[in-house]
Structure 1
Amino acid sequence: MDIIAATGAIVVLSPVFLLTALAIKIEDGGSPFFTQKRVGKDGKVFKMYKFRSMCVNADKMHAQMKEQAGVTDVSFKLVEDPRITKVGNFIRKFSIDEFPQFINILKGDMSLVGPRPLPVYEAVEVNDEFQGRYQLNPGLTCLWQI
């Protein structure tokens, strides 16, 4: 079911994929894609794909902002993040940045519905009570979002 739905979504959304990739490339010249190591079923680490919604050196800027703020918290987030590009704001608003995860579904790393995959740096913080999340394939969307 997941494979059929993901294949159909990629075919139907292919014009959106192309326009989004082109818009990101035109805006700042960087790669239109962002990959991040996430933890999936049985603790397997995989590369999750997204359209890049932040400037090219976003990770470096984030580390500098954390240091300047004197913050050591792993999940440090900014309310109005200056690293988000104009195209990035648009694609986040409509969740277009998540579309490349259909590729993860085709690869078997993810399902359409399941617990959202955590970044490796957050997954190490998950306590024993929530380890059951790793018995399922992570999802493009979770039950809370449906």
Structure 2
Amino acid sequence: MLKQSLAPLVIAGCLVSPAHAQDAPSPAPTAASSAAPAPLVILFDTASNKVQANSLAVLDKASRAYSEGKPIVMIITASSDRVGNAALNLRLSQQRATAVLNGLLERGIPADRFQLLAKGQTELPIPTQPGVSEARNRAVEITWR
């Protein structure tokens, strides 16, 4: 079962923030934040929102990158492939983003350091036709700013 997050959430371009998000102080930029780590990607099985055991090392790497560089915001962007219903795939991408968020929260990163973006079938890393299963589109990308 996924934990409920307190981080801001962007769903298909619409920002949805918890009530406390506007009260969170904005951190001052640091020299470390100007050199953001390379993006990290976690792939998911078809129709799954479970972070697989072989992806836990990616969560550990993201946690280390945060601890070493203290980026201002970690951006978690989730997508799905183009198999099935678009609305269900949007929901699935939200669940994938939340699963990655929960893994990073468990590693001690504060909730106010995240932005979630669930894209469903839109703006896919690998453009495909409807109905095409593409593993690289069943992904969550972690970036920093």
- Shorter-chain TM range is under 0.3
Higher relative contact order (CA 8 A, sep 6+): 2
Question: Which structure carries more helix by proportion?
Answer: 1
The structure whose Rg is larger is 1
Please, what TM-score do these two structures have when normalized by structure 2?
A: 0.27
